[in-house]
């Protein structure tokens, strides 16, 4: 009786290639003798054998395998040139239980996406990468790839690749083997049956690693491109054996598949009650506007300025916080970037009942100058009748303007007296409260848990003392 052979596609493939346009929905778009089709089949078989078809997600790159999604009966994402490892990283994190396959050519992976593959490998992303090294850009018609061999003619190396101008063929396995995180790194070839069998084993190992959350596996496959190389199928196989393998040795460069480590990913907390708790809704207060009828300033447009390290920013933030707790509208705007590095820093603070327009105080009605350059700079832009408070510990010149109110306060000196220069900020806040009459020191002190959240009682007490000291100084000296 004649033997009957039943041929069928592995279940990893879609039965009828419905995404493929045109009439031929039963065959691939690859050229005869191309390696892509063989590798696709090895992957599809493995997915079937490990029962992973439904759990897998294939990332189709840009290159001849751009249409990998025609074939695999998995979840599919087609992505930008070279970015498959970046996309796959997020896909794997979004679906930690899935098997994520990044399928890429040499132009895609080693040229335009060179950094993306290294970084994904270095993060140990849970994915398997199949890297088709055919030493050429197949899809765009046979241009040089990073893996093109020395002397190899392509459409963009018509005289042969010159290593002096084009560099050397990049050996990706060797490169990735410099990184600590990857679990499995191997190079195989598709040029004959024994090597296809070895490729099959490597494909299966990579897929199993992804399934078992072992992390990052990298399988480089030397693959025929008869069209790009302008050879027939048999010549192409021989060309791999004779020319590619000497440059790209076939080997398992690393196999830590047995390591006990598995990739863990967090479970997002989406429950509104939990979210509110974690974001700290519980500790927030509802403020009602409280006003002191004796306030000198009712609408504060303040500049705080001084050296970096004098607590300029924190003085402003503390005042904005206090204003907010009193029910005012507040804004705080820092000078940011290089300006801060130059030594002086300043910020704008607004505290007012009305909606705040511009946050920057271009015409402040109050200035706190912590050093001399600040006094010189900001005295000029104070509005007439504005308030200038300056740090008399460090500033020994007198303000020149006569149409403003001046409060010399030894801010640094008082902080030092308390034993910690860092409390200058709260000395300033206390002095501000006394000068403006907007807040009283007791209420500022009650806000310490807001202003110094997470700090020790000792720190809070010290800062309470600073507030009182600044407040008392102004009250005692300028009433």
Ligand X SMILES: Cc1ncc(C[n+]2csc(CCOP(=O)(O)OP(=O)(O)O)c2C)c(N)n1
Taking the alpha carbons at both ends of the chain, their separation in whole angstroms is 118
Please name the residue that has the structure tokens 């990049």: 170
**Residue 30: contacted member of Mg ion, ligand X, ligand SF4, none (CB under 5 to 8 Å, by partner type):** ligand SF4
**Residue 314: contacted member of ligand X, another protein, ligand SF4, none (CB under 5 to 8 Å, by partner type):** none
- Evaluate whether 223 touches 30 at the Cβ level (below 8 Å): no
Residue 137 or 473 with smaller CB distance to ligand X = 137
**Residue 108: contacted member of Mg ion, ligand SF4, ligand X, none (CB under 5 to 8 Å, by partner type):** ligand X
76: part of which helix (H) or strand (E)? strand 75-78
Looking at 11, 48, 75, 245, which residue binds another protein (CB under 8 A)?
75
Q: What is the crossing angle of helices 193-211 and 35-49, to 10°? A: 50
Asked if residue 110 binds ligand SF4 (CB under 6 A), the reply is: no
Least separation in angstroms between residue 114's CB and Mg ion is: 14
Please name the residue that has the structure tokens 């490998």: 121
Cα 3 to Cα 73, 339, 381: the distances in Å are 31, 84, 99
Stretch that binds ligand SF4, among 132-140, 148-156, 311-319, 448-456 (CB under 6 A): 132-140
φ/ψ of 74, rounded to 5, equals: -115, -175
Stretch that binds ligand SF4, among 28-36, 209-217, 246-254, 266-274 (CB under 6 A): 28-36
Asked if residue 127 binds another protein (CB under 8 A), the reply is: no
Please name the residue that has the structure tokens 């010290």: 462
- Evaluate whether 308 touches 344 at the Cβ level (below 8 Å): yes
Residue 37 or 105 with smaller CB distance to ligand X = 105
**Residue 119: contacted member of another protein, Mg ion, ligand X, none (CB under 5 to 8 Å, by partner type):** another protein
Asked if residue 146 binds ligand X (CB under 6 A), the reply is: no
Residue (of 338, 364, 362, 347) closest to 311 by Cα position: 347
431: part of which helix (H) or strand (E)? helix 424-436
Asked if residue 79 binds another protein (CB under 8 A), the reply is: yes
Q: What is the DSSP letter of 293?
A: T
Q: How many CA atoms lie within 13 A of 237 on its CB side?
A: 12
Per-residue contact track with another protein, 3 to 32, x per CB under 8 A? Answer: ----------------x-x-----------
Least separation in angstroms between residue 189's CB and ligand SF4 is: 15
* Binding-site size, ligand SF4 (CB under 6 A): 12
Looking at 43, 52, 57, 64, which residue binds ligand SF4 (CB under 6 A)?
64
**Residue 250: contacted member of ligand X, another protein, Mg ion, none (CB under 5 to 8 Å, by partner type):** none
- Evaluate whether 76 touches 91 at the Cβ level (below 8 Å): no
Stretch that binds ligand SF4, among 165-173, 200-208, 219-227, 335-343 (CB under 6 A): 219-227
Stretch that binds ligand X, among 129-137, 281-289, 350-358, 393-401 (CB under 6 A): 129-137
Residue 140 or 177 with smaller CB distance to ligand X = 140
**Integer Cα distance of 131 and 321 in angstroms:** 55
Residue 165 or 288 with smaller CB distance to another protein = 288
Q: Which positions touch Mg ion (CB under 5 A)?
A: 105-106, 134
**Integer Cα distance of 191 and 437 in angstroms:** 86
The distance from CA 57 to its chain's CA centroid, rounded to whole angstroms, is: 23
State the alpha helices, DSSP H only, in 298-389. 312-325, 338-341, 372-379
Residue (of 341, 281, 284, 277) closest to 309 by Cα position: 341
Looking at 32, 260, 280, 454, which residue binds another protein (CB under 8 A)?
280
Cα 94 to Cα 131, 201, 409: the distances in Å are 23, 28, 57
**Residue 65: contacted member of another protein, Mg ion, ligand X, none (CB under 5 to 8 Å, by partner type):** ligand X
Per-residue contact track with another protein, 192 to 231, x per CB under 8 A? Answer: ----------------------------------------
Looking at 85, 146, 182, 226, which residue binds ligand SF4 (CB under 6 A)?
226
Residue (of 163, 156, 173) closest to 110 by Cα position: 173
Stretch that binds another protein, among 247-255, 277-285, 364-372, 415-423 (CB under 8 A): 277-285
Q: Which two tokens stand for residue 36?
A: 């892509």
**Integer Cα distance of 132 and 283 in angstroms:** 56
Asked if residue 139 binds ligand X (CB under 6 A), the reply is: yes
**Positions in the binding site for ligand X (CB under 6 A):** 62-65, 81, 105-108, 132, 134, 136-140, 145
**Positions in the binding site for ligand SF4 (CB under 6 A):** 30-31, 34, 36, 64, 134, 138-139, 225-228
């Amino acid at each position: 009786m004649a033997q009957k052979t039943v041929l069928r596609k592995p279940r990893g493939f879609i039965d009828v290639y419905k995404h493929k346009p045109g009439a031929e929905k039963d065959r691939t778009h690859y050229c005869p003798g191309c390696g892509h089709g063989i590798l696709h089949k090895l992957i599809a078989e493995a997915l079937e054998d490990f029962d992973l078809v439904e759990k897998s997600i294939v990332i189709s790159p840009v290159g001849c395998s751009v249409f990998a999604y025609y074939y695999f009966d998995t979840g599919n994402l087609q992505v930008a040139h070279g970015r498959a490892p970046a996309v796959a990283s997020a896909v794997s994190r979004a679906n930690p239980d899935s098997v994520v396959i990044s399928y890429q050519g040499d132009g895609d992976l080693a040229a335009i996406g060179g950094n993306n593959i290294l970084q994904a490998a270095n993060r140990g992303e849970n994915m398997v990468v199949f890297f088709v090294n055919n030493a050429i850009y197949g899809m765009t018609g046979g241009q040089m790839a990073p893996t093109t061999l020395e002397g190899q003619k392509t459409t963009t190396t018509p005289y042969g690749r010159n290593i002096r101008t084009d560099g050397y063929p990049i050996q990706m396995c060797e490169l990735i083997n410099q990184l600590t995180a990857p679990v499995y790194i191997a190079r195989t070839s598709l040029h004959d049956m024994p090597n296809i069998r070895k490729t099959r084993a490597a494909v299966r190992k990579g897929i199993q690693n992804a399934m078992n959350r072992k992390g990052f596996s990298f399988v480089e496959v030397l693959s025929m491109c008869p069209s790009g190389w302008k050879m027939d199928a048999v010549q192409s196989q021989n060309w791999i054996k004779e020319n590619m393998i000497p440059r790209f040795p076939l080997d398992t460069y690393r196999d830590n598949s047995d390591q006990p480590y598995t990739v863990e990913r967090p479970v997002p907390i989406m429950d509104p009650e939990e979210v509110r708790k974690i974001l700290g809704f519980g500790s927030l207060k509802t403020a009602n506007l409280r006003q002191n009828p004796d306030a000198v300033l009712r609408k504060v447009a303040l500049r705080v300025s001084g050296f970096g390290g004098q607590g300029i920013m924190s003085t402003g933030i503390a005042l904005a916080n206090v204003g907010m707790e009193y029910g005012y509208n507040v804004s705080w705007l820092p000078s940011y970037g290089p300006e801060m590095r130059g030594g002086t820093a300043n910020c704008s603070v607004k505290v007012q009942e009305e909606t705040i327009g511009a946050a920057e105080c271009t015409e402040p009605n109050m200035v706190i100058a912590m050093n001399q350059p600040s006094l010189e700079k900001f005295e000029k832009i104070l509005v007439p009748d504005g308030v200038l408070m300056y740090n008399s510990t460090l500033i020994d010149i007198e303000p020149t303007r006569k149409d403003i109110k001046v409060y010399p306060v030894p801010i640094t000196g008082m902080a030092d007296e308390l034993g910690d220069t860092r409390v200058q900020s709260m000395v300033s806040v206390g002095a501000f409260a006394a000068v403006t009459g907007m807040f009283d020191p007791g209420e500022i002190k009650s806000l310490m848990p807001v202003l110094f959240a997470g700090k020790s009682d000792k720190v809070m007490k010290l800062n309470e003392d600073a507030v009182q000291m600044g407040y008392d100084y102004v009250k005692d000296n300028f009433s």
